[in-house]
Structure 1
Amino acid sequence: MTWPLLGGLALVTIASRVLPMTLLPTPTGRAAEVLAALPAPLFASLFALSLVGDGPPDVPLLAASVAALAGARSRSLLLVLLCGLAGYGAAGVLVG
């Protein structure tokens, strides 16, 4: 991976998220309800895919998943990410 490639990937990722938020109107009605409900199914699918790997899941992954699920009640993506990182880090330190 080169720095220009990493920069290009970051630019495409950011642009694909920022441009629709700035150029498209805010959804209303049923579309807004569907979009508001998306984070939970997306997280659940990522969680399931990470657990159904080649072998048994490792302890830090399970700890991160449990901690992120605990933070999911807040419906704050930042809090979910921080809880998951904290769970992963704590399990990594405890398990070694």
Structure 2
Amino acid sequence: MISAIGCDPPNVTESPTSNNNMAEFVVAQISAQLHETLTLANIYSVDKTNDFIKTKWYVFIRVLYPHPKQPIPAVCSAVVDQGFFWGTLQMESYNCNQITK
């Protein structure tokens, strides 16, 4: 298990084919990679799509950019494929949208 400092425990949505242990492994892999370039990444939701044929995980990541006076939160979504089940990091897409208050 790869762990990353500063990450909240994942919240896994139940599905007929869900595997909580594997979902946590996926979250740990993603958060570990994010920590290579980002200061803090908090996983707040993990959900599997209804399209079980493609077996894709939609992982929603809240990234906090630390600033002494004005921290700017951003919500990022990453789509990963079945490679995660074999411990291989394969990220197909990665999109971030900053949220300003």
TM-score calculated relative to the size of structure 2: 0.26
Larger radius of gyration: 1
Question: Which has more helix, going by share of residues?
Answer: 1
